[in-house]
Amino acid sequence: MALSIIYWARYVDGHTKLTRKSEKAVDSDRVLKFVLDKEYHVISAVVQASMRDTSYKVQIFLENEDDDAGTIISSTCECPMGQFRCHHVAAALLFGYKRASKTDVKCSWIKHPKSAPPKSTTTMAEMYPPRQQDYR
């Protein structure tokens, strides 16, 4: 579970057809790709169309989870209904709750961890001092 179910529930609230279609899409493995970037609060997904050999790119921008859980700022989909509420976006949100694993969450590395010691530069002369004359 990489994503809260609240995002999906608020997106499909009051739309039973959207609920059913998104559940069918997830159950029939039509979410082909799912990446959650927790640093930027963005979901990128590819969802296969219902009855065609086509897939649509979905992008969902989420509100910061700590501040207001369940709020979607905006979403886009390449399908004809993409500028409105489409089941591809709903399927990506439901997939994020039901099936997304830790490997679907994009890695974000800490630039300067607090526990790391400060870096010091060592020169070659310090690492390999010149030979002493009496030494063979």
- For the chain, how are helix, strand and coil distributed in percent, rounded to 5? 30, 20, 50
For the stretch 27-49, pLDDT in tens is 999 999 998 888 888 999 999 98
User: Which residues neighbour 49 within 8 Å (Cβ) at sequence distance 6 or greater?
Assistant: 30, 55, 56, 79
For the stretch 66-96, pLDDT in tens is 555 678 889 999 988 777 889 999 999 999 8
Whether this prediction's pTM lies above 0.85 is answered by no
